[in-house]
Structure 1
Amino acid sequence: MREGPAIVVHRQDYAAPAYWIRKVELCFDLDPVKTIVSSKLHIERNPAAEPQPLKLHGEDVTVLRVMAAGESVSFRHEDKLLVIDNPPAGEQFVLEIRNTCSPEKNTQLSGLYTSGSGFFTQCEAEGFRRITYFLDRPDVMAVYTVTLRADKKKYPVLLSNGNLVEQGELDNGRHFAVWHDPFPKPSYLFALVAADLVCREQKIRTRAGKEHLLQVFVRRGDLGKTEHAMASLVASVVWDEARFGLPLDLERFMIVAVEDFNMGAMENKGLNIFNTKYVLASPATATDVDFAGIESVVGHEYFHNWTGNRITCRDWFQLSLKEGLTVFRDQEFSMDMAGAPSARAVKRIEDVRALRASQFPEDAGAMAHPVRPDSYAAIDNFYTPTVYEKGAEVVRMMQTLVGRQGFERGITLYFERHDGQAVTCDDFAQAIADANPGSELATRLESFKRWYSQAGTPRLKARGVYDAEARRYTLTLAQTALPSPGQPTKEPFVIPVLAALLGRDGRTLAAERLLVLDSAEQQFVFDEVDAEPVPSLLRGFSAPVILDDGLADAELLTLLAHDSDAFNRWEAGQRLALARLLAAVAETAPVTLDEAFVEAMRSVLRDPALDPAFKEMALTLPSEGYVAEQLATFDPQRIHAVREQFREQLASALHADWAVAFEANLVREGYAPTPAQAGRRALANLALAMLCLHSVRSGNPVWPGRAYQRVKDASNMTDRIGALAALVHSHSELAEPALERFHAIAGGEPLVVDKWFALQAQASEPLGAGQGRSFARAKALLKHPDFSLKNPNRARSLIFQLCMNNPAAFHRADAAGYVFWAERMFELDAINPQVAARLARVMDRWTALAEPYRSAAREALVRVAAKPDLSDDVREVLGRALEAQQ
């Protein structure tokens, strides 16, 4: 913890290091209380730098000895640095350091720590300095040889990066293993594991004819839940070589699952360490969403082997170089794995919905920042949706501007130029453009790169004029960008807009074409248009912007019924619903759904040509959070009340259709997490939720009874938790016994118990009598014997779900939700600042809250920010939040 202001790092101040570390030899004598780390660093002076002291980063480590060129050397400590004022003369020398660290005291889960009965590491972004003193920055890349020593009975598995070169027995029941990684890497990619684990293995032969060993390590008893993770890893290896020509480059590739982990997973070279959430799955313990998440995250971390590991970031401001690109790659992988065009479209809608739920609010809030930030106080705070998901959209726009094959040529050139280097976002964009001379990207490259440097979500206005006599449609596109912190004015973005024109009867009047807006306003002409068209713009969500196309209900209904672009068809339905929600929230319209909208939803539900997964997404109302994002000032309770009333009306008006949909989409064959089955289950669970909601309101016990039976008898977790959610969110009397039954069935399975906590934390607050029930339950669950604040998954399942995903329960007129948040902030920051900083983000848009919520939220922010020993991570987030009021 730091007292006083944090040191702010600026991108413009980047300078290459005065020293390089080219080779690293590490030796660990592993002990939970005191691990001894011996390092031998082969150091070179940077001839381009002025002579200066050698400064190595280190935190929470105790130095035992420092030797240079074989002799003891004097050193001093300076603000988490070990400084050698007079390193040996000459261009190269060897520095040896012997130090200790205490893994069992490391509750931050950054560096070397213990979890359960084993040792694990997490070194991104700056965790390696918590293991030993080092030049802990991404542009210092070295070849590592690592020796691990430990008690064999307690820690029979010893793993590190690269290839196993030697292992054997030692005295006193100990053993050792030596690992060598032949590829230079920065320290953030270092990893070690020492634990009692079991392993699923599979050999795979690449197109080059080389055989590789794939391994998934888990704790004993979990091996049966690793089949899907292994299948996903095999698919990832095959896909990356087929799509981009990037083969597996090590003798083996390992995944290790650990229960205590701050992130989803980590791409350490050859030794990926995963949160158990993204490895362990069986039909009885994991939902369809879990299975899809495992495939996506396994793919993401494997794809980092090239986009992030073989080519890494010059500095942390370039984080999206690896993360945005790799999110794009895992999205493409998941779409290719989905197969059918309808399933691919659903995946794209899911990705856009997630972007709007997390990144758009970030762009509009206190923590708004460019995809490539200009400064930070704690780099852990910039592992954000902007860097990841918006960064992926920037890469997707590049592919749109150069074409799929052009993008693959660009990736090939990128690796030809930069393999083994630490580079920048500019280097990547330049390679894509240079591989496609004359392309829309190449001719506008400098303007396009504003997506990296400018924060905020651009607003795109579209208006069209039809000339019947000339059979011409003229479309005017104009863009604006609102001010964001540190950026009061902005230059125009390059916005690729995929567009088509439809007739009122659904005919295609103009086939899809690419329009590129690169100035404040431009006109685009469509000739030979036979009738006044309905424009279908931003197809496939071709750019991360907010579109105002001025379409009336009749035109949106045309798109909903006929558009061949599945994204725009879904979007039309969402816009129809959103307009009604906003009007009712503002009380400019009654809280009653009109017949035209109800009939449109009925048509979607009944349409046999539509994919069930698409129906489920189209029939789900926009979230309370998304509604709030559309308003300059919002009342969370009013939004909740309106949305709940609309949901009840849809449940009632379509009651007979929901019953038909439920029966028609029951999956009676054996469970498989395929898109087709998952879509049917999703629609059946939505139908069951609506049927329970209507039944509870009308006093009919039939559907809650069926849901309760499904909780008891379901053959898979998706159906079981779907039925439980239907009871909980409808406030059925059977919800309580169903929750008890579910907890008993969980049998202490950690990931299933997480679901039990999360569902209760997300439970919608009842309207009228009983309001406040969900908040009271969530608060009481803090004292449940299964709850632990030290486990990030468990903290997220209860505290985060309440504060971030249950607005009506969290934003209370009596300020109890904000008091709850402040107390958890104090507790979490003392244990794990990274997790605490993420919880702090719930207050990003506090200035948009209506009174009395706004004043109460500010009071909570000020209370937490006043604590003198806050971590840099939390202090930066709260400081920016409070600056937003000025």
Structure 2
Amino acid sequence: MADKPQPTYLKDYVPYPFEVERLDLEFDLEPHHTRVLSRARYKRKEHVDVEEPLRLNGAGQTLLSLSLDGTPLTALDYRCQDSGLVLPNVPNAFELTVVTEIDPEANKALEGLYLSSGNFCTQCEAQGFRRITYFPDRPDVMTRYTTTIRADKQRFPVLLSNGNLVEQCDLDDGRHLTRWEDPFFKPSYLFALVAGDLVCQEDAFTTMSGREVLLQIYVEARNADKCDHAMLSLKKAMAWDEQRFGFEYDLDRFMIVAVDDFNMGAMENKGLNVFNSKYVLARPETATDDDFLNIESVVGHEYFHNWTGNRITCRDWFQLSLKEGLTVFRDQEFSADMNSAAVKRIEEVRILQSHQFAEDSGPMAHPVRPESYVEINNFYTMTVYSKGAELIRMMQTLLGRDGFMAGIRLYVQRHDGQAVTTDDFVAAMEDASGVDLDQFRRWYSQAGTPVIHVEQHYDGERQQLTLDVTQSCPATPGQPDKQPFHIPLRLALLGPDGTPQPLHLVNESGQQGAEELVLSVTAARQKFCFEQVGEGCVVSLLRDFSAPVKLTMNTSRDELAFLMAHDNDAFNRWNASQRLAGGLLLDLVDRVRKGQKLILEPMFVEAFRTSLLDEQTDPSLLALALALPLESFLAEQMEEIDPQAIFTAREFVRHEVAVQLKDDFLTVYRRCADSGPYEVTPQAVGQRRLKNLCLGYLAALAPQDNMIWQMILEQFSTGRNMTDVSAALGLLADHDNRDSRHALDTFYATWKEDPLVVEKWLGIQARSRREDCLEQVERLMGTPAFNLHNPNKVRSLIGVFCQGNSVRFHAADGSGYDFLRRQVALIDPFNPQIAARLVAPLLRWPRYDDTRSALMKQALEQLQAKTTLSADLYEMVSKGLDQNKKG
């Protein structure tokens, strides 16, 4: 591109030289010509040079006027520089009034103020506020906001902003006005405005101090019947946050608005959360079990930000995990308490292992606290969010629940109302607990996934078990060498009957005889010796996934089968099943590549049958344990990824298990059928998960097995909830026949007016195993069901195909790569955030065979050759190309 974007570095951080004592905003809303007046009171900080100019950020707006203390400024009084304004020679204290005009209708980047379905909406994180007015748009500039909104009352009867409503009235010209005051200091990224023709569902919540808070969810009228679950989730989250953390809500009202056009999942703007509609709207006919659970989680997440993100925010964007990692941990704990803790933990780890570990081994690998970025939007990543949450969880493991909560209390006491760093958070944990976390801080500054290798040696004569533990971490961009991490390794020993054994660690005085210990692995190599260990004990290691590491250990398949059947740690039971299945699958992948005959070991089938027929275990846990390892997880285990071989091996296992266990699958499927009212309880969700897992295996026999095919058709046509209907439709969509086409057409005809259900329909077809899947995706792009300007539609069709359909995306002829290149090039000019996220699969090119890697690299080179790449996409493409083919 013409001007190469320059990186921003953490080491260059300098505090903003001015305080902003208050900010008054006035909006006169019109779709194409919105006028914004901002009046800010600035004060130079002590010890700041009087020669220091005032620097303001700004983009995508027309400057109408600028005045200082009431005196109009001319072009000679300021200069445009680096997408903003610079005002030299300003006094130590002054009021600056800026009047700008913006065009929300034309804003397809969905940053700043834009229109969604005819309603005004904002998205200011990370740097969208600068598209609204000229202002120091950085998280460490915090002030109190007053927002006045004027708009046509008939077109925009609802006018919302942050804080408390202090005035509303009708104006003479058919317009009306509302004024909002937020009494709490906040940065510009937490500003929000919504205006439109919306309906409201109201409720109330009484806080632990006895204050009544008004709760409001605003949606379009057609969605008024889909808010109950989100409202219930909000009330649960508010009560849980008081009980678990002692955090009470602080405003008179809490508002949620659902919009269809949104780049993210949701946004925690103070008192006015703006949500992607998929994380608010639900009823059983239109939403799956996962939708219901995700809504509960995301509503909780955004509400929990009120204290961990809003009251205390991040000093700079390098500290993003300060708020996101901590709040993800909090929403995980909330979901665990509301549902099944074991299921929730396994689901978190599945995502981490299949997606974040891949991020750690790719060109965009970065520490939880990055050292630099070209475009901050590219760092809203699994590393910052999910791995960041694991760092919080590890601190709770190392400090204990009481020590961790003492650290949280000290953190809030010290920093309420401030913009701080991850170091400030860790310091509060240290000071409250007395535990030295200096080495632990490396988790924030070093990228990559550590590898823990454990060799176990048993001395039967002495009854001693020695674990020889080594840790290492692969090189990542800019970090060729890593220092040892502080890794909490949770451990137990199981006797021959599965009973946890007392642990006696040599040279360790505390916790002798406990059934579980947390070992602190702090050196590149350490040995841990246990005494009084009887014959036949099996080590259960990394229990509850106590650290985000890859574990390798000389564990036999018989021992994995034992852990799968007997481990009292639910995560490790699941992990044993995945390691057992993963090892067998990788062996089969190798046989596929060598052209050898595929054989499924009887031991695996028998272990599978035993678990399948277990009526005592949580059915959700069974469904997770019996699901084959994800293709993306298997790919991470390979030096050179072969997507076709992975697909072939998985399909072989799926078919063979279905053939040998057909009657067992039918028995469990019928046992799990439900006839009562739809409920989102752990038991009901688990039964549907297990039932649909059975149907998914049985579908490997269809359509040749007509009985099974008719079962799938019957579930599709008679299913009483979207969970069952969409599961059946997904199995039908794998085939091209009259029944499948009729089902897909019927489903669309029924739900074509519901955008969220249409997105499910698009995703089902994008994930199809059909060999002509790409042709179907391109056909769907030309139908009214798709809209390239709507992020949800793009993610549902293009995103699912390129990131969720590995075998078809990675077609050997490179057609999938060329398709993705073309779509990214189309989207980048109007929505760089979405384009940059879509391109990610191509960045993995060095991991594939020569033919595929050359085609993937070529697609990136063609994108790089464009002269108008956004900074977002430029960073991804350039880092993707700055790699060498491995091997």
- Taking structure 2 as the reference length, the TM-score comes to 0.96
**Contact 1:499-1:512 within 8 A present in 2 as well:** yes
After the TM superposition, list the runs of 4 or more consecutive aligned residues in structure 1 that deviate by more than 6 angstroms.
Answer: none
Cα distance between partner residues in 2 of 1:201 and 1:48? 49
2:382 is the alignment partner of 1:385: yes
Matched residue, 1:193: 194
Residue type of the alignment partner of 1:741:
T
Give ranges in structure 1 of 5+ residues lacking alignment: 766-771
Give ranges in structure 2 of 5+ residues lacking alignment: 503-514
**Contact 1:704-1:732 within 8 A present in 2 as well:** no
Cα distance between partner residues in 1 of 2:282 and 2:668? 28
Cα distance between partner residues in 1 of 2:650 and 2:682? 29
3-state SS, counterpart of residue 39 of structure 2:
strand
Q: How does 1:867-886 map to 2 (within 5 A)?
A: 867-885=866-884
3-state SS, counterpart of residue 608 of structure 1:
coil
**Contact 1:39-1:98 within 8 A present in 2 as well:** yes
Cα distance between partner residues in 2 of 1:48 and 1:361? 47
Following superposition, the deviation at residue 667 of structure 1 comes to 1.6
Matched residue, 2:154: 153
Q: Deviations over 1:616-661 (max 9, x none)?
A: 1111111111111111211211211111111111111111111011
Which of residues 85, 109, 115 is equivalent to 1:82? 85
**Contact 2:218-2:257 within 8 A present in 1 as well:** yes
3-state SS, counterpart of residue 702 of structure 2:
helix
Residue type of the alignment partner of 2:187:
P
3-state SS, counterpart of residue 285 of structure 2:
coil
Following superposition, the deviation at residue 591 of structure 1 comes to 2.2
Matched residue, 2:56: 56
Bigger shift: 406-415 or 751-760? 406-415
Residue type of the alignment partner of 1:384:
T
Q: How does 1:305-316 map to 2 (within 5 A)?
A: 305-316=306-317
2:685 is the alignment partner of 1:678: yes
Following superposition, the deviation at residue 371 of structure 1 comes to 0.2
Matched residue, 2:264: 263
3-state SS, counterpart of residue 831 of structure 1:
coil
Q: How does 1:617-696 map to 2 (within 5 A)?
A: 617-696=624-703
Which of residues 510, 531, 534 is equivalent to 2:535? 531
3-state SS, counterpart of residue 158 of structure 1:
strand
3-state SS, counterpart of residue 455 of structure 2:
strand
Which of residues 738, 746, 760 is equivalent to 1:755? 760
Which of residues 449, 457, 462 is equivalent to 1:465? 457
Which of residues 341, 353, 356 is equivalent to 1:356? 353
Matched residue, 2:839: 840
Cα distance between partner residues in 2 of 1:249 and 1:144? 16
Following superposition, the deviation at residue 732 of structure 1 comes to 6.4
Cα distance between partner residues in 2 of 1:553 and 1:729? 33
Which of residues 419, 441, 449 is equivalent to 2:441? 449
Matched residue, 1:769: none
Q: Deviations over 1:691-728 (max 9, x none)?
A: 222132xx221121122122122111001101112222
Following superposition, the deviation at residue 730 of structure 1 comes to 6.0
2:573 is the alignment partner of 1:569: yes
Q: How does 1:479-558 map to 2 (within 5 A)?
A: 479-510=471-502, 511-558=515-562
**Contact 1:689-1:725 within 8 A present in 2 as well:** no
Cα distance between partner residues in 2 of 1:251 and 1:507? 53
Bigger shift: 625-634 or 181-190? 625-634
Taking a change above 3 Å as real, the CA distance of residues 504 and 729 of structure 1, as seen in their structure-2 partners, is farther
Residue type of the alignment partner of 2:88:
D
Matched residue, 1:591: 598
Residue type of the alignment partner of 2:663:
A
Following superposition, the deviation at residue 733 of structure 1 comes to 5.4
3-state SS, counterpart of residue 628 of structure 2:
coil
Cα distance between partner residues in 1 of 2:84 and 2:203? 44
Bigger shift: 785-794 or 843-852? 843-852
Cα distance between partner residues in 1 of 2:839 and 2:215? 39
Residue type of the alignment partner of 1:221:
R
Cα distance between partner residues in 2 of 1:676 and 1:371? 36
Matched residue, 1:768: none
Following superposition, the deviation at residue 246 of structure 1 comes to 0.4
**Contact 1:534-1:555 within 8 A present in 2 as well:** yes
**Contact 1:152-1:174 within 8 A present in 2 as well:** yes
Cα distance between partner residues in 2 of 1:610 and 1:736? 38
Q: Deviations over 1:558-579 (max 9, x none)?
A: 1001000011101111111111
Following superposition, the deviation at residue 731 of structure 1 comes to 6.1
**Contact 1:761-1:801 within 8 A present in 2 as well:** yes
3-state SS, counterpart of residue 238 of structure 1:
helix
Q: CA RMSD, aligned part only?
A: 1.2
Bigger shift: 232-241 or 840-849? 840-849
Following superposition, the deviation at residue 774 of structure 1 comes to 1.4
**Contact 2:817-2:842 within 8 A present in 1 as well:** no
Cα distance between partner residues in 2 of 1:170 and 1:268? 28
Cα distance between partner residues in 2 of 1:838 and 1:748? 28
2:338 is the alignment partner of 1:337: yes
Cα distance between partner residues in 2 of 1:779 and 1:628? 26
Cα distance between partner residues in 1 of 2:79 and 2:328? 42
3-state SS, counterpart of residue 181 of structure 1:
strand
Residue type of the alignment partner of 2:402:
Q
**Contact 2:365-2:477 within 8 A present in 1 as well:** yes
Q: Deviations over 1:573-619 (max 9, x none)?
A: 11111111111212277422110001000011011221111111111
Q: Deviations over 1:356-406 (max 9, x none)?
A: 121000001010000000000000000000000000000000000111122
Identity within the alignment, %: 49
3-state SS, counterpart of residue 462 of structure 1:
strand
Cα distance between partner residues in 2 of 1:884 and 1:303? 39
**Contact 1:704-1:734 within 8 A present in 2 as well:** no
**Contact 2:752-2:785 within 8 A present in 1 as well:** no
Matched residue, 1:858: 857
Residue type of the alignment partner of 1:659:
L
Taking a change above 3 Å as real, the CA distance of residues 156 and 61 of structure 1, as seen in their structure-2 partners, is same
Cα distance between partner residues in 1 of 2:427 and 2:529? 31
Q: Deviations over 1:306-347 (max 9, x none)?
A: 000000000000000000000000000000111xxxx21011
Cα distance between partner residues in 1 of 2:468 and 2:740? 53
**Contact 1:666-1:681 within 8 A present in 2 as well:** yes
Q: Deviations over 1:496-533 (max 9, x none)?
A: 01100112332322411111101111112222222242
Residue type of the alignment partner of 2:643:
P
Matched residue, 1:103: 104
Residue type of the alignment partner of 1:827:
L
3-state SS, counterpart of residue 528 of structure 2:
strand
- Taking structure 1 as the reference length, the TM-score comes to 0.97
Residue type of the alignment partner of 2:679:
A
Bigger shift: 389-398 or 465-474? 465-474
Matched residue, 2:512: none
Q: Deviations over 1:523-568 (max 9, x none)?
A: 1222222224211000000000000011010110110010000111
3-state SS, counterpart of residue 852 of structure 1:
helix
3-state SS, counterpart of residue 509 of structure 1:
coil
**Contact 1:502-1:563 within 8 A present in 2 as well:** yes
2:431 is the alignment partner of 1:434: yes
**Contact 2:355-2:632 within 8 A present in 1 as well:** no
Following superposition, the deviation at residue 298 of structure 1 comes to 0.2
Bigger shift: 807-816 or 386-395? 807-816
Matched residue, 2:364: 367
Residue type of the alignment partner of 2:432:
A
Following superposition, the deviation at residue 59 of structure 1 comes to 0.3
Cα distance between partner residues in 1 of 2:208 and 2:16? 39
Following superposition, the deviation at residue 686 of structure 1 comes to 1.2
- For these two proteins, the number of residue pairs brought into alignment is 866
Cα distance between partner residues in 2 of 1:581 and 1:80? 53
3-state SS, counterpart of residue 720 of structure 1:
helix
Q: How does 1:18-29 map to 2 (within 5 A)?
A: 18-29=17-28
Cα distance between partner residues in 2 of 1:319 and 1:115? 27
